[in-house]
Structure 1
Amino acid sequence: MGVPRFDLSLSDLQSYRPDVAEPDDFDAFWAATIAEARAVGGGMTVEAVDTPLRTVDVFDVTFPGFAGDPVRGWLSVPHAADAPRPAVVEYVGYGGGRGLPHERLSWVSAGYVHLLMDTRGQGSRWGAGGQTPDPHGAGPASPGFMTRGIDDPADYYYRRVFTDAVRAVDAVRALPQVDAARVAVAGGSQGGGIALAAGALCDDLVAVMPDVPFLCHFERAVGLTDRDPYQELVTYLSVHRAAPERVFETLSYFDGVNMAKRATAPGLFSVALMDFTCPPSTVYAAYNHYAAERDIRVYSFNDHEGGAAHQWPEQAAFLGARV
Structure 2
Amino acid sequence: MPLLDMPLEKLLSYEGRNPRPTDFDEYWERALAEMHSVDPAVELVPSSFQVPYADCFDLYFTGVRGARIHAKYVRPKNVEGPHPAIVQFHGYSGSCGDWADKLIYASLGYSIVSMDARGQGGSSEDTGGVKGTTLNGHIIRGLNDHEDNLLFRHIYLDTAQLAGIVMNLPEVDENRVGVIGGSQGGALTIACAALEPRVKRLAPIYPFLCDYKRVWEMDQAANAYAELKTFFRNFDPQHKREDEIFTRLGYIDLQFLANRIRGEVMMGVGLMDAVCPPSTQFAAFNKMTSPKSYEIYPDFGHEGLPGFSDKTIEFMLGL
| Residue equivalent to 2:165 | 171
| Structure 1 unmatched runs, 5+ | 124-129
Equivalent residue in structure 1 for 2:153, among 156, 159, 167: 159
Q: Name 1:254's counterpart in structure 2.
A: 252
Give the superposition deviation at 1:17: 2.5
> Which letter does structure 2 place at the counterpart of 1:317?
E
Cα distance in 1 for residues equivalent to 2:30 and 2:221: 35
Shift of 1:137: 5.1
C-alpha deviations, 1:45-75, integer Å up to 9, x for none?
A: 0112232522221011001212342100000
Measured in 2, the distance between the counterparts of 1:51 and 1:18 equals 45
Q: How does 1:1-323 map to 2 (within 5 A)?
A: 5-18=3-16, 20-123=18-121, 130-136=122-128, 144-151=137-144, 152-224=146-218, 225-241=220-236, 242-307=240-305, 310-321=307-318, 323=319
Aligned residues with identical type, % of pairs: 31
- AA of the residue aligned to 1:71: I
Q: Which moved more, 1:161-170 or 1:107-116?
A: 107-116
For the aligned residues, what is the CA RMSD?
2.1
Q: 1:109 to 1:247 in 2, by over 3 A?
A: farther
Secondary structure in structure 2 of the residue aligned to 1:213: coil
1:193-222, Cα deviation, whole Å (9 max, x unpaired): 111111111132111221110001111012
Task: After TM superposition, give the deviation of residue 320 of structure 1 in Å.
Answer: 2.1
Structure 2 segments unaligned to the other structure (5+ residues): none
* Alpha-carbon distance change, 66 to 60 in structure 1, aligned in 2, over 3 angstroms: same
Q: Per-residue deviation at 1:285?
A: 1.3
Q: 1:297 to 1:306 in 2, by over 3 A?
A: farther
TM-score of the pair, normalised by structure 2: 0.91
Task: Classify 1:193/1:137 alpha carbon distance in 2 versus 1 (closer, same or farther; 3 Å).
Answer: farther
C-alpha distance in structure 2 between counterparts of 1:143 and 1:64, whole Å: 22
CA 1:142–1:318 in 2, change beyond 3 Å: closer, same or farther?
closer
Q: Bigger CA drift: 64-73 or 101-110?
A: 101-110
Q: In structure 2, what is the Cα distance between the partners aligned to 1:167 and 1:142?
A: 21
For 2:274 and 2:249, how far apart are their aligned partners in 1? 20
Number of aligned pairs?
A: 311
Q: Contact 1:144 / 1:229 at 8 angstroms: preserved in 2?
A: no
Report SS of the residue matched to 1:249. Answer: helix
Q: Distance in 1 between matches of 2:113 and 2:230?
A: 34
Shift of 1:303: 1.1
* 148 and 137 in structure 1: CA distance in 2 versus 1, 3 angstrom threshold: farther
Q: Which amino acid aligns with 1:312?
A: S
Mapped contact 1:22–1:253 kept (Cα < 8 A): yes
Aligned amino acid, residue 92 of structure 1 = H
Shift >6 Å, 4+ stretches: none
Q: CA deviation at 1:291?
A: 1.6
Q: CA deviation at 1:142?
A: 12
